[in-house]
Amino acid sequence: MQVMFMPLPRIPQQDVLIWQYDSSATYSVKIGYNLLACEFVVHAHDLDSSELQRVKSFYDNLWSLSIPTKIKVMFWRLFKNYLPTNVNLSNRQISVNPSCHLCAAASETVYHIFECSFTKRICSNMGINYLTTSSEQYWVMWLATLFYPLNVNQRLMFVVFIWAIWSYRNNKLHNSTLQSEAELVRFIRVYIAKLISHCVSSVPGLAKADVKWTPPPGNAIKFNFDASFDSLLKTFVSGVVARNNESLLMATGTTPHCYVVNPEMTEVLVCEDAFILATELGFNRIIIEGDALTIINKAKARTDERSLS
């Protein structure tokens, strides 16, 4: 009946196809793929609109991360249950022991990667406290819900962390030389810190310093420093910018650090980075400038009062 209410054009026109699932009315493979992926999940698990939104956000948030594509693809395959876990291989009639390669205490499903005692041990050593599993919730929904409230750095760390665990598991499977658990933790921390340092085009705080920045006197070089600290992984990235009295850029540097106890320690190390850079470049007259009140107060204190502990 609806057809009868459609207004007829006064001038004959050719029919055109309209893609109703996008405001542009134009089909693209990306939109079609997202639609199919969401439709499948919705029909299979009867999701409501807020749950569907979290699943859609999961894809957007994952693909927008500034990390190597191979890591994003691994995590996407995990989310889609495409990883060759022992259970998946066994379901495809491949003769393997379905037990977990890392703990041997349970069947190796994609969800078990998060539940595995090995994963939880590494997680604990790294100080990640948001990885809590739930056996009552459809695990894809659980993962999308877990991912949803994290900020960009936490998502990056989480994805890289799981990728590192899966890589470690593959190395163990193929009898490669294995790192110790402490080495694995250190590798993940350093890898994450390097990734974040590449993401940091301008270190937070330096822009603020730029507003009030005044050139150094004479032939002195002014070093401005700041840092981005992550309390969960005890890592930070320091940033240093050096300029002369004509505001010309003389040097810049970013350095990832790990095993940092607190933000005050961060400021000490980043100040030290500024001194090291100045020394390496051979500048004799330097001015170190930062907005870290704690370190500046400590630096001004008597020698025996400079400890931050």
Contact residues toward Zn ion (CB under 5 A) are: 100, 102-103, 116
Interatomic CA distance for residues 183 and 176, integer angstroms = 15
**Residue 78 in tokens:** 């995990």
Q: Cα–Cα distances in Å, from 6 out to 1, 9, 12, 194?
A: 10, 9, 15, 59
Q: Which is nearer to Zn ion, 135 or 151 (CB)?
A: 135
Adjacent-strand bridge partners of 240: 225, 253
Comparison of 113 and 277: residue with beta carbon closer to Zn ion: 113
CB of 164 vs Zn ion, minimal distance in Å: 15
Q: Are 271 and 288 in contact (CB under 8 A)?
A: yes
**Minimum distance, C-beta of residue 159 to Zn ion, in the bound complex (Å):** 19
Nearer to Zn ion, 102 or 274 (CB): 102
CB of 158 to Zn ion, least distance (A): 18
Cα 237 versus chain centre, distance: 14
Residue with smaller CB distance to Zn ion, 35 or 103: 103
Q: Which of 78, 274 has the CB closer to Zn ion?
A: 78
Q: Is the dihedral of CA 41, 42, 45, 51 positive or negative?
A: positive
| Angle CA 273–278–280, to nearest 5 | 95
CB of 186: closest distance to Zn ion in angstroms?
Answer: 22
Q: From the CB of 125, what's the least distance to Zn ion, in Å?
A: 16
Of the pair 113, 221, the CB lying nearest Zn ion is at 113
Name the minimum Å distance from CB 165 to Zn ion.
10
HSE value, Cβ hemisphere, 13 Å, CA-based, for 3: 0
What is the enclosing helix (H) or strand (E) of 33?
Answer: helix 29-45
Query: Strand pairing partners for 241?
Result: 224, 252
